Amino acid sequence: MFREGLQHLLHADSSLCVVGQAADGPQTIALARSLTPDIILLDLGMPQTAGLETIVSLTALPVAPRVLALAAAIDPAGTMAALAVGARGVVPKTSVVGLLISAIGEVIRGRYWVGNRGADTLAGALASVPKGTALRSFGLTPRELEIVAAVSSGRTNREIAEALRLSEETVKHHLTSIFDKTGASTRLELALFVVHHRLTLLTLASTTATFL
């Protein structure tokens, strides 16, 4: 019922064309492959495959759509997690249709959106997320924090190396140290670690800007 109602509202805007609906994560990924939409409205609470895992799979597609996540509420942890794994924005499911259409337009134009406002960059979107308590660095060095920020924004080792003027091998060594200190074993786990512990969000926001 929610999907049908949302589709009806979006059809009322002549600038938008709804090309499909999906009931869960696997179906979303399959339809994204075949329909190659510009943008996907993704419920973070969908059944079967979790919303965050679905975002990771969608952003890895050969023709990757931009993902605008729909959430029951804009909580810091959930919003940061969605942005960290590749969402271009997070909008409350209770948003009025005008706000949702504004968010869609901003994301299509390459911007980000959190709650009720847009941002030019991922750093700006991160900065607009409600902040938690003071944060620990978990023994990470300033250089390692830069790399954590870059990984959380979806940058590859090569892109990080080029931005920081390091060799890829050096970046790999830093990542090994980062994984040891945080207990993460994958880039996704590292992004979620950042969110869970609210790891130096100001550093994350400021250094991410270097890579955009």
pLDDT computed for residue 38 by the predictor = 94
> Could you give the residue range(s) of every CATH 3.40.50.2300 domain in the chain?
2-125
> Could you give the residue range(s) of every CATH 1.10.10.10 domain in the chain?
142-211
Q: Which fold has domain 2-125?
A: Rossmann fold (3.40.50)
Average pLDDT over residues 44-48: 72
pLDDT computed for residue 98 by the predictor = 84
pTM of the model as a whole? 0.62
pLDDT computed for residue 199 by the predictor = 60
CA 135 to chain centre: 21
| Residue 199, H or E segment | none
CA distance 86 to 97: 24
Interhelix angle 187-197/168-182, nearest 10 degrees? 50
For the chain, first and last CA: distance in Å? 38
Average pLDDT over residues 125-131: 67
CA distance 115 to 118: 8
pLDDT computed for residue 200 by the predictor = 46
For residue 113 the two structure tokens come to 């959106």
Average pLDDT over residues 92-101: 84
pLDDT by residue (tens digit) across 102-118? 999 999 999 999 888 88
Residue 205 pLDDT more than 50? no
β-pairing, 117-119 vs 112-114, is antiparallel
Domain 142-211 has CATH 3.30.60.50: no
pLDDT by residue (tens digit) across 132-149? 544 456 777 778 877 887
